[in-house]
Amino acid sequence: MFLVEEATDAQALDLWCTVVVPPGAEQLPPGRIQLRKGGQRTTGGARLGSSRMLANPVCPGDGLPTPTG
């Protein structure tokens, strides 16, 4: 998932905990889903220059990191 450059860690964590985790993302192998922000699209459609967010996010209330790598 790519977020706009202006996305904060708090906004990324909210997205992770309310949209990504509830459908069962924690059951996927580590690193399968990553949140990244920024970057540019090439003419071929690839993204360059994005930075990873939330390497080990912890959702409020669970106290356990989700397996993002």
Q: For 1-69, where are the alpha helices, taking DSSP H only?
A: 9-15
Has residue 9 been placed in a domain? yes
Q: Which two tokens stand for residue 23?
A: 């459908």
SS3 61: coil
Number of domains in the chain: 1
pTM exceeds 0.85, yes or no: no
- Residue-number span of the structural domain to which 13 is assigned: 2-53
Q: Which two tokens stand for residue 7?
A: 């996305």
Beta pairing, strands 40-41 & 47-48: antiparallel
Q: Which two tokens stand for residue 54?
A: 């939330």
Task: Taking residues 38-57, report their average pLDDT.
Answer: 75
Has residue 67 been placed in a domain? no
Has residue 33 been placed in a domain? yes
Has residue 58 been placed in a domain? no
Has residue 62 been placed in a domain? no
Model confidence over 23-43: pLDDT tens digits?
Answer: 776 677 777 777 888 776 777
Has residue 49 been placed in a domain? yes
State how far the Cα of 18 lies from the Cα of 10, in Å rounded to an integer. 12
